[in-house]
Amino acid sequence: MSDPSERSATVSVVSPSGTAGATVGLPAEIFGAKVNVPLIHQVVVAQQAAARQGTHAVKNRGAVRGGGKKPYRQKGTGRARQGSIRAPQFTGGGVVHGPVPRSHEQRTPKKMKAAALRGALSDRAAHGRVHVVSGFTDGDQPRTSEALAVLVSATGVPPSAAPVLVVADAADVVTWKSLRNVPGVHLLDPGQLNTYDVLVSDHVVFTEPALATFVARAGAGSRQTPTHLQPEDAAP
């Protein structure tokens, strides 16, 4: 991972026709933050731990069926004394100190989660893998073929070859219905964007409304809201 630039970056906005016209700015405080690899690792581990069900369990000798009768007499056999064939040393016996149902959740402060997400997005932006589209279809009907063509135009590769994370508002039904069944495409609402899903995706594609929503939620909306720039006004 390389250190991203401290200045705000601009990316071209891809239209449903597949052409890039105006540009949009990516706030440096979100997409140009320092990449803290240990912090990102800690947050991802905690996120994966919280996703565990924690329903694992084994039976101890009291829960295993059978073994109520003493297998043989106490003395006179020359063998070690035993009280049950369901003791841990016997095959089919109980398990000692085995796993029990519990929660694997780890406490992670909100500021750590936010910093890790900024670092993951900054790494993707530094490598030119954050893209913005004005929309995926021209009409108000879901079109998977059109949406897939826009996605390939924005990223340069099909999602089957490089996993893509598409961030779109949950109210954008057309986008969700157009891309929800495409292999290699993962859809998220801006409020659900997280470090793990960014890291497991080669490209992150925002719709313009979703980018504005995410920037506002991340706290950069009042300082620098993404605005359209004409190509001649964009930073070199």
The answer as to whether 220 is a domain residue is yes
Residue 128, pLDDT score: 93
Domain total for the chain?
A: 1
The answer as to whether 197 is a domain residue is yes
Tokens read off for 235: 């930073």
The answer as to whether 58 is a domain residue is no
Tell me how far apart the alpha carbons of residues 32 and 47 are, in angstroms, rounded to a whole number. 23
Residue whose entry in the numeric block shows the structure tokens 């979703």: 210
The answer as to whether 194 is a domain residue is yes
Higher pLDDT, 150 or 230: 150
Tokens read off for 188: 């998220």
State the CATH number of the domain containing residue 194: 3.40.1370.10
Per-residue pLDDT reduced to its tens digit, 74-96: 999 999 999 999 999 999 999 99
Binned at pLDDT 50, 70 and 90, residue 224 comes out as very low
Count of CB atoms situated within 10 Å of the CB of 186: 16
| Sequence-separated (6 or more) residues with CB below 8 Å from residue 11 | 23, 24, 26, 130, 131, 132
The answer as to whether 88 is a domain residue is no
The residue segments making up the domain with residue 118 are 9-52+104-233
Of the candidates 148, 142, 145, 161, which has an alpha carbon nearest to the alpha carbon of residue 205? 148
| Sequence-separated (6 or more) residues with CB below 8 Å from residue 120 | 35, 40, 195, 198, 199
The answer as to whether 59 is a domain residue is no
Residues above pLDDT 70, as percent of the chain: 88
Sign of CA dihedral 226, 227, 230, 233: negative
Q: What is the DSSP string of 118-147?
A: HHHHHHHHHTT-EEEES-S-SSSS--HHHH
Residue 18, pLDDT score: 67
The answer as to whether 127 is a domain residue is yes
The answer as to whether 128 is a domain residue is yes
Residue 20, pLDDT score: 66
- CB distance 123 to 9 below 8 Å: no
Residue 177, pLDDT score: 96
Question: What's the chain's average pLDDT?
Answer: 88
- CB distance 116 to 46 below 8 Å: no
Residue 55, pLDDT score: 95
Residues found in the chain: 236
pLDDT higher than 60, residue 230: no
Neighbour-count burial for 52-89, b at 16+ CB within 10 Å, e otherwise: eeeeeeeebbeebeebeeeeeeeeeeeeeeeebbbeee
